[in-house]
């Protein structure tokens, strides 16, 4: 009986220990989430409208968020922004994943590799607002390093302020952000390579396996868990990208570089339309949760 009382007392004391952490979480995290979801189903006057807000947001035409060079798609703010996020994923994800893996393999046995990795990882720890400013200058005609490179190799026809044109603004942001995120995949792949036993490579070398065969038969399969984490975390970052776009182009020109998180911010800050902002926020949360749940389930099965 005394033992049971002591166990109950320990559980109660443990629960009391978490209260100081739980209360702020409820106030600043749980309550705003529930309030945001609740606002989705109300009109600006506070009347219950069901899913009408979602239908209005998904069917709202606004030339400010026009989709550029994507014929056949309606000019909806959230749809246009979502397509831009998907374009970001389609281009940015394979480049940063491959770039990080290639650098990790190249630098694996190089002296002073830690210094090089630290330099590359600077882009990852740098505030994205600073990264947006840097990208803005990188692609500005006359001062940017990108246009200077084109001049150097004789491609003067490509020199222009890339973020000032609707057909190139989004791609300038995507390619400019590669160096900001490649450090993440580089560090993870470097850790994954270090965990692979060297005996595997020695056995493959004795058997006369070519470097190409060693990579696809040993390195790549054993790095599959790392690749899953890199891909999932990169997609989450690409879906939630905001500060970089906000600082570099503000979604312009003409909405050609707009993304979902920026659409939510514009509804809230510029339009003072909290209902539509909450709708976009929930849609964005659902997209990120799908990726997060998939990643957690995979890691648990491992």
Q: Quick: pLDDT tens for 181-229.
A: 888 999 999 989 888 888 888 888 888 878 888 888 888 888 988 998 8
255-291 per-position pLDDT tens digit: 788 888 888 888 888 777 788 888 888 888 888 888 8
Residue 122 has pLDDT above 80, yes or no: yes
Burial class (CB in 10 A: 0-12, 13-18, 19+), 293: exposed
Angle subtended by helix axes 274-301 and 31-39, to nearest 10: 120
Q: Are 154 and 146 in contact (CB under 8 A)?
A: no
CA 103 – CA 98 distance, rounded (Å)? 8
Sign of dihedral through CA atoms 23, 25, 27, 30?
negative
The helix/strand/coil state of 42 is strand
Sign of dihedral through CA atoms 71, 73, 75, 80?
negative
30-80 per-position pLDDT tens digit: 888 888 888 888 877 777 887 888 877 777 655 344 434 344 433 445 567
Residue 119 has pLDDT above 80, yes or no: yes
Residue 143 has pLDDT above 50, yes or no: yes
Q: How many residues does the chain have?
A: 302
**pTM for the full model?**
0.80
Residue 96 has pLDDT above 90, yes or no: yes
Question: Does domain 65-301 fall into CATH 1.10.3720.10?
Answer: yes
Model confidence at 97, pLDDT cuts 50, 70, 90, reads: very high
Q: What is the DSSP string of 278-294?
A: HHHHHHHHHHHHHHHHH
Q: Are 240 and 288 in contact (CB under 8 A)?
A: yes
CA 115 – CA 294 distance, rounded (Å)? 35
């Amino acid at each position: 009986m005394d033992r049971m009382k002591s166990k109950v007392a320990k559980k109660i004391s443990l629960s009391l220990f978490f209260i100081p952490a739980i209360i702020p979480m409820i106030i600043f995290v749980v309550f705003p989430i529930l309030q945001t979801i609740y606002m989705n189903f109300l009109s600006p006057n506070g009347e219950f409208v069901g899913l009408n807000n979602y239908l209005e947001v998904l069917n709202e035409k606004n030339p400010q968020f026009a989709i550029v060079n994507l014929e056949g798609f309606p000019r909806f703010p959230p749809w246009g922004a979502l397509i831009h996020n998907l374009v970001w994923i389609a281009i940015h994800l394979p480049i940063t994943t491959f770039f990080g893996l290639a650098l990790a393999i190249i630098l694996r046995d190089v002296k002073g590799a830690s210094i090089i990795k630290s330099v590359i990882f600077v882009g990852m720890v740098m505030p994205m607002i600073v990264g947006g400013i840097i990208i803005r200058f990188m692609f500005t005609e006359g001062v940017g390093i990108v246009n200077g490179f084109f001049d150097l190799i004789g491609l003067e026809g490509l020199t222009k302020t890339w973020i000032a044109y609707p057909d190139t603004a989004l791609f300038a942001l995507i390619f400019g952000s590669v160096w900001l995120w490649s450090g993440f995949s580089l560090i993870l792949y470097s850790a994954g390579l270090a965990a692979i036993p060297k005996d595997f490579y020695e056995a493959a070398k004795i058997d006369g396996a070519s470097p190409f065969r060693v990579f696809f038969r040993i390195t790549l399969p054993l790095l599959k868990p790392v690749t899953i984490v890199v891909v999932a975390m990169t997609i989450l970052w690409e879906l939630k990208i905001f500060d970089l776009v906000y600082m570099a182009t503000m979604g312009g020109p003409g909405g050609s570089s707009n993304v979902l998180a920026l659409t939510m911010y514009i509804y809230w800050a510029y339009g003072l339309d909290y209902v539509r902002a909450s709708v976009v926020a929930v849609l964005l949360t659902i997209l990120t949760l799908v990726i997060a749940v998939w990643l957690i389930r995979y890691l648990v099965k491992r």
